[in-house]
Amino acid sequence: MKITIVGAGAIGGYFAARLAHSGQDVSVLARGRTLDAIRAHGMRLDSKGKHFAERLEASEKAADLGPQDVVIITVKAPAMPTAAQSIAPLLGAQTTVIPAVNGLPWWYFLEAGGRLGGHRLRSVDPAGATEAAINAARVVGCVVFPACSSIEPGYVKHASGNRVVFGEPRGGTSERVTAIADSFRAAGFGAESSNNIRREIWLKLLGNLCFNPVSALMGCTTDCMIDDPRLHSLFVGAMSEALALGAALDIPVDIKPVDRIAITRKLGAVKTSMLQDVEAGRPLEVEGIVGAAVEAAEAIGQPVPLLSAIYALVRRRADVLGLLPA
Protein backbone atom coordinates (compact mmCIF):
# COMPACT_ATOMS: atom_id res chain seq x y z
CA MET A 1 0.00 0.00 0.00
CA LYS A 2 1.25 3.46 -0.90
CA ILE A 3 1.26 5.71 2.15
CA THR A 4 1.99 9.43 2.45
CA ILE A 5 2.56 11.10 5.80
CA VAL A 6 1.52 14.75 5.84
CA GLY A 7 3.63 16.53 8.45
CA ALA A 8 6.88 14.92 9.59
CA GLY A 9 6.97 16.18 13.17
CA ALA A 10 7.18 13.93 16.21
CA ILE A 11 4.35 11.49 15.43
CA GLY A 12 4.54 11.83 11.65
CA GLY A 13 8.27 11.19 11.67
CA TYR A 14 7.82 8.20 13.96
CA PHE A 15 5.19 6.71 11.67
CA ALA A 16 7.22 7.37 8.52
CA ALA A 17 10.45 5.87 9.84
CA ARG A 18 8.85 2.75 11.33
CA LEU A 19 6.64 2.05 8.32
CA ALA A 20 9.49 2.62 5.85
CA HIS A 21 11.83 0.43 7.91
CA SER A 22 9.33 -2.44 7.61
CA GLY A 23 9.35 -2.16 3.81
CA GLN A 24 6.19 -0.11 3.30
CA ASP A 25 6.05 2.29 0.35
CA VAL A 26 6.15 5.54 2.34
CA SER A 27 6.55 9.15 1.28
CA VAL A 28 6.41 12.40 3.25
CA LEU A 29 4.85 15.77 2.53
CA ALA A 30 7.02 18.27 4.39
CA ARG A 31 8.59 21.67 4.00
CA GLY A 32 11.39 23.97 5.10
CA ARG A 33 14.14 22.66 7.34
CA THR A 34 12.32 19.37 7.91
CA LEU A 35 12.20 18.65 4.19
CA ASP A 36 15.88 19.60 3.79
CA ALA A 37 16.88 17.33 6.68
CA ILE A 38 14.92 14.33 5.35
CA ARG A 39 16.43 14.73 1.90
CA ALA A 40 19.93 15.01 3.34
CA HIS A 41 19.86 12.36 6.07
CA GLY A 42 16.65 10.34 5.68
CA MET A 43 13.92 10.24 8.31
CA ARG A 44 15.83 9.62 11.53
CA LEU A 45 14.38 7.89 14.57
CA ASP A 46 15.74 6.85 17.96
CA SER A 47 13.53 4.17 19.52
CA LYS A 48 14.28 1.75 22.36
CA GLY A 49 18.03 2.03 21.90
CA LYS A 50 17.87 1.59 18.13
CA HIS A 51 18.58 4.23 15.50
CA PHE A 52 16.88 4.31 12.10
CA ALA A 53 17.68 6.61 9.18
CA GLU A 54 15.18 5.73 6.47
CA ARG A 55 15.57 7.11 2.97
CA LEU A 56 12.17 7.91 1.51
CA GLU A 57 10.59 10.19 -1.04
CA ALA A 58 9.85 13.65 0.34
CA SER A 59 8.44 16.78 -1.23
CA GLU A 60 6.70 20.01 -0.34
CA LYS A 61 4.34 19.54 -3.29
CA ALA A 62 1.64 16.89 -3.13
CA ALA A 63 1.58 16.73 -6.94
CA ASP A 64 5.13 15.31 -6.87
CA LEU A 65 3.93 12.29 -4.88
CA GLY A 66 0.70 11.55 -6.76
CA PRO A 67 -2.36 9.54 -5.68
CA GLN A 68 -1.93 7.29 -2.64
CA ASP A 69 -3.76 4.41 -1.03
CA VAL A 70 -3.54 5.99 2.42
CA VAL A 71 -2.83 9.57 3.51
CA ILE A 72 -2.01 10.04 7.20
CA ILE A 73 -2.27 13.62 8.43
CA THR A 74 -0.19 14.26 11.55
CA VAL A 75 -0.15 18.06 11.70
CA LYS A 76 -1.36 19.91 14.78
CA ALA A 77 -5.03 20.89 14.90
CA PRO A 78 -4.48 24.59 13.99
CA ALA A 79 -2.79 23.53 10.75
CA MET A 80 -5.43 20.99 9.73
CA PRO A 81 -7.58 23.21 7.45
CA THR A 82 -4.53 24.29 5.43
CA ALA A 83 -3.16 20.74 5.29
CA ALA A 84 -6.54 19.37 4.19
CA GLN A 85 -6.67 21.77 1.27
CA SER A 86 -3.12 20.89 0.19
CA ILE A 87 -3.57 17.13 -0.26
CA ALA A 88 -5.93 17.03 -3.26
CA PRO A 89 -3.23 15.60 -5.62
CA LEU A 90 -2.74 12.70 -3.16
CA LEU A 91 -6.38 11.64 -3.35
CA GLY A 92 -7.41 8.96 -5.81
CA ALA A 93 -10.85 7.44 -6.10
CA GLN A 94 -10.25 4.99 -3.22
CA THR A 95 -7.76 6.91 -1.07
CA THR A 96 -8.29 6.66 2.69
CA VAL A 97 -7.44 9.66 4.86
CA ILE A 98 -6.37 9.10 8.48
CA PRO A 99 -6.25 12.21 10.67
CA ALA A 100 -3.87 11.30 13.51
CA VAL A 101 -4.58 14.33 15.69
CA ASN A 102 -4.99 15.26 19.34
CA GLY A 103 -8.38 16.10 20.75
CA LEU A 104 -11.63 15.91 18.82
CA PRO A 105 -11.23 15.85 15.01
CA TRP A 106 -13.51 17.85 12.71
CA TRP A 107 -15.40 14.72 11.62
CA TYR A 108 -16.26 13.55 15.14
CA PHE A 109 -19.98 14.40 15.07
CA LEU A 110 -20.50 14.67 11.30
CA GLU A 111 -21.02 10.93 10.83
CA ALA A 112 -22.58 10.30 14.24
CA GLY A 113 -26.13 9.88 15.38
CA GLY A 114 -27.48 11.10 18.69
CA ARG A 115 -27.87 14.60 20.09
CA LEU A 116 -25.07 16.22 18.08
CA GLY A 117 -25.30 14.10 14.94
CA GLY A 118 -24.13 16.16 11.95
CA HIS A 119 -22.73 18.95 14.13
CA ARG A 120 -19.65 20.70 12.74
CA LEU A 121 -17.10 21.52 15.43
CA ARG A 122 -16.55 25.18 14.67
CA SER A 123 -13.79 25.35 17.24
CA VAL A 124 -11.61 23.15 15.02
CA ASP A 125 -13.11 23.79 11.56
CA PRO A 126 -14.76 27.22 11.83
CA ALA A 127 -15.29 27.83 8.10
CA GLY A 128 -15.82 24.19 7.12
CA ALA A 129 -12.61 24.18 5.07
CA THR A 130 -11.48 20.75 6.26
CA GLU A 131 -14.94 19.27 5.84
CA ALA A 132 -15.08 20.58 2.27
CA ALA A 133 -11.60 19.33 1.35
CA ILE A 134 -11.90 15.79 2.74
CA ASN A 135 -15.07 13.82 2.06
CA ALA A 136 -16.14 12.13 5.29
CA ALA A 137 -16.43 8.79 3.47
CA ARG A 138 -12.63 8.79 3.04
CA VAL A 139 -11.91 9.10 6.75
CA VAL A 140 -10.69 6.37 9.07
CA GLY A 141 -10.43 7.47 12.68
CA CYS A 142 -7.23 7.04 14.64
CA VAL A 143 -6.00 7.27 18.22
CA VAL A 144 -2.25 7.55 18.80
CA PHE A 145 -0.69 6.62 22.14
CA PRO A 146 3.12 6.69 21.59
CA ALA A 147 5.04 9.54 23.26
CA CYS A 148 7.50 11.13 20.85
CA SER A 149 9.41 14.39 20.51
CA SER A 150 11.36 16.15 17.76
CA ILE A 151 15.05 16.35 18.58
CA GLU A 152 15.59 18.52 15.50
CA PRO A 153 13.98 18.77 12.04
CA GLY A 154 13.70 15.30 10.53
CA TYR A 155 14.91 13.58 13.71
CA VAL A 156 12.47 12.03 16.22
CA LYS A 157 12.93 10.42 19.62
CA HIS A 158 10.38 7.78 20.63
CA ALA A 159 10.03 7.72 24.43
CA SER A 160 7.32 5.14 25.12
CA GLY A 161 4.23 3.36 23.85
CA ASN A 162 3.43 1.91 20.42
CA ARG A 163 -0.35 1.43 20.52
CA VAL A 164 -2.38 2.85 17.64
CA VAL A 165 -6.12 2.27 17.21
CA PHE A 166 -8.06 2.60 13.94
CA GLY A 167 -11.77 2.54 13.25
CA GLU A 168 -14.64 3.63 11.03
CA PRO A 169 -16.22 6.95 12.11
CA ARG A 170 -19.69 5.37 11.97
CA GLY A 171 -18.55 2.36 13.97
CA GLY A 172 -18.37 -1.28 13.00
CA THR A 173 -15.60 -3.01 11.09
CA SER A 174 -14.29 -2.80 7.53
CA GLU A 175 -11.69 -4.37 5.25
CA ARG A 176 -9.78 -1.10 4.94
CA VAL A 177 -9.43 -0.68 8.69
CA THR A 178 -8.21 -4.26 9.01
CA ALA A 179 -5.66 -3.76 6.22
CA ILE A 180 -4.33 -0.55 7.76
CA ALA A 181 -4.00 -2.13 11.20
CA ASP A 182 -2.21 -5.12 9.63
CA SER A 183 0.29 -2.80 7.92
CA PHE A 184 1.05 -1.04 11.19
CA ARG A 185 1.42 -4.34 13.06
CA ALA A 186 3.89 -5.50 10.42
CA ALA A 187 5.93 -2.40 11.27
CA GLY A 188 6.02 -3.29 14.96
CA PHE A 189 3.16 -1.14 16.21
CA GLY A 190 0.61 -2.41 18.68
CA ALA A 191 -2.11 -1.65 16.15
CA GLU A 192 -5.76 -2.46 16.80
CA SER A 193 -9.08 -2.22 15.01
CA SER A 194 -11.98 -0.78 17.00
CA ASN A 195 -15.67 -1.02 16.25
CA ASN A 196 -16.22 2.19 18.26
CA ILE A 197 -13.41 4.61 17.44
CA ARG A 198 -15.35 7.59 18.80
CA ARG A 199 -15.30 5.99 22.24
CA GLU A 200 -11.54 5.38 21.95
CA ILE A 201 -11.01 9.04 21.04
CA TRP A 202 -13.09 10.17 24.01
CA LEU A 203 -11.16 7.86 26.33
CA LYS A 204 -7.87 9.45 25.29
CA LEU A 205 -9.47 12.89 25.49
CA LEU A 206 -10.02 12.38 29.23
CA GLY A 207 -6.29 12.73 29.78
CA ASN A 208 -5.64 15.34 27.12
CA LEU A 209 -8.35 17.64 28.49
CA CYS A 210 -6.56 17.76 31.83
CA PHE A 211 -2.85 17.14 31.48
CA ASN A 212 -2.18 19.14 28.30
CA PRO A 213 -3.69 22.52 29.22
CA VAL A 214 -2.66 22.40 32.88
CA SER A 215 0.92 21.51 31.91
CA ALA A 216 0.94 24.54 29.59
CA LEU A 217 -0.20 26.69 32.52
CA MET A 218 2.11 25.12 35.13
CA GLY A 219 5.17 24.36 33.01
CA CYS A 220 5.73 20.92 34.52
CA THR A 221 5.48 17.25 33.61
CA THR A 222 2.55 14.95 34.35
CA ASP A 223 4.11 13.25 37.38
CA CYS A 224 4.61 16.46 39.36
CA MET A 225 1.08 17.62 38.51
CA ILE A 226 -0.57 14.33 39.50
CA ASP A 227 1.43 14.17 42.75
CA ASP A 228 0.09 17.59 43.76
CA PRO A 229 -3.08 16.85 45.81
CA ARG A 230 -4.87 20.00 44.66
CA LEU A 231 -4.18 19.37 40.98
CA HIS A 232 -5.08 15.72 41.42
CA SER A 233 -8.49 16.83 42.74
CA LEU A 234 -8.84 19.20 39.80
CA PHE A 235 -8.15 16.36 37.37
CA VAL A 236 -10.68 14.10 39.09
CA GLY A 237 -13.33 16.81 38.83
CA ALA A 238 -12.58 17.72 35.22
CA MET A 239 -12.55 14.09 34.11
CA SER A 240 -15.83 13.52 35.91
CA GLU A 241 -17.33 16.36 33.87
CA ALA A 242 -15.92 14.86 30.65
CA LEU A 243 -17.32 11.42 31.49
CA ALA A 244 -20.76 12.90 32.20
CA LEU A 245 -20.60 14.85 28.94
CA GLY A 246 -19.68 11.71 27.04
CA ALA A 247 -22.59 9.82 28.58
CA ALA A 248 -24.96 12.64 27.59
CA LEU A 249 -23.64 12.37 24.02
CA ASP A 250 -24.07 8.56 23.97
CA ILE A 251 -20.30 8.03 24.24
CA PRO A 252 -20.11 6.04 27.48
CA VAL A 253 -16.62 5.36 28.83
CA ASP A 254 -16.42 2.89 31.70
CA ILE A 255 -13.46 4.11 33.72
CA LYS A 256 -13.06 5.98 37.01
CA PRO A 257 -11.08 9.26 36.94
CA VAL A 258 -8.64 8.04 39.61
CA ASP A 259 -7.89 4.94 37.53
CA ARG A 260 -7.38 7.01 34.35
CA ILE A 261 -5.04 9.36 36.22
CA ALA A 262 -3.10 6.39 37.61
CA ILE A 263 -2.45 5.12 34.08
CA THR A 264 -0.66 8.36 33.21
CA ARG A 265 1.22 8.44 36.52
CA LYS A 266 2.78 5.07 35.74
CA LEU A 267 4.40 6.61 32.66
CA GLY A 268 6.57 8.85 34.82
CA ALA A 269 7.67 12.35 33.85
CA VAL A 270 5.76 12.89 30.61
CA LYS A 271 6.12 16.25 28.91
CA THR A 272 2.79 16.79 27.15
CA SER A 273 2.59 17.91 23.55
CA MET A 274 1.11 21.24 24.63
CA LEU A 275 3.99 21.90 27.03
CA GLN A 276 6.44 21.00 24.26
CA ASP A 277 4.69 23.53 22.02
CA VAL A 278 4.91 26.23 24.70
CA GLU A 279 8.64 25.65 25.08
CA ALA A 280 9.17 25.63 21.30
CA GLY A 281 7.01 28.71 20.69
CA ARG A 282 4.54 26.82 18.48
CA PRO A 283 0.77 27.48 18.27
CA LEU A 284 -1.15 25.59 20.94
CA GLU A 285 -3.92 23.09 20.21
CA VAL A 286 -6.27 24.85 22.60
CA GLU A 287 -9.42 24.45 20.52
CA GLY A 288 -8.95 20.85 19.42
CA ILE A 289 -8.07 19.56 22.87
CA VAL A 290 -10.25 21.71 25.14
CA GLY A 291 -12.39 24.09 23.10
CA ALA A 292 -14.13 21.35 21.12
CA ALA A 293 -15.29 19.58 24.29
CA VAL A 294 -16.56 22.85 25.78
CA GLU A 295 -18.32 23.62 22.48
CA ALA A 296 -20.06 20.22 22.57
CA ALA A 297 -21.14 20.81 26.18
CA GLU A 298 -22.54 24.24 25.35
CA ALA A 299 -24.37 22.83 22.31
CA ILE A 300 -26.40 20.48 24.52
CA GLY A 301 -26.61 22.71 27.58
CA GLN A 302 -24.39 20.49 29.75
CA PRO A 303 -22.60 22.37 32.57
CA VAL A 304 -18.82 21.79 32.61
CA PRO A 305 -17.55 24.51 34.97
CA LEU A 306 -14.08 23.08 35.58
CA LEU A 307 -13.42 22.35 31.92
CA SER A 308 -14.71 25.81 31.00
CA ALA A 309 -12.35 27.39 33.54
CA ILE A 310 -9.36 25.38 32.26
CA TYR A 311 -10.27 26.38 28.70
CA ALA A 312 -10.51 30.07 29.60
CA LEU A 313 -7.18 30.03 31.42
CA VAL A 314 -5.16 28.16 28.80
CA ARG A 315 -6.69 30.18 25.99
CA ARG A 316 -5.64 33.42 27.69
CA ARG A 317 -2.21 31.95 28.44
CA ALA A 318 -1.75 31.06 24.77
CA ASP A 319 -2.85 34.54 23.75
CA VAL A 320 -0.41 36.21 26.15
CA LEU A 321 2.43 34.06 24.78
CA GLY A 322 1.43 34.86 21.19
CA LEU A 323 0.67 31.17 20.61
CA LEU A 324 -3.08 31.34 20.07
CA PRO A 325 -3.91 30.50 16.44
CA ALA A 326 -6.01 33.10 14.63
Active site residues: 204
Residue 144 — φ and ψ, nearest 5°? -110, 125
Whether 103 and 80 have beta carbons less than 8 Å apart is answered as: no
Whether 204 and 161 have beta carbons less than 8 Å apart is answered as: no
- Please state the length of the chain: 326
Whether 25 and 183 have beta carbons less than 8 Å apart is answered as: no
Instruction: State the chain's maximal CA–CA distance in angstroms.
Output: 53
Residue 46 — φ and ψ, nearest 5°? -105, 120
- Which 3-state string (H, E, C) describes 249-273? CCCCCCCCHHHHHHHHHCCCCCCCH
User: What is the bridge-based pairing of β-strands 68-73 and 91-99?
Assistant: parallel
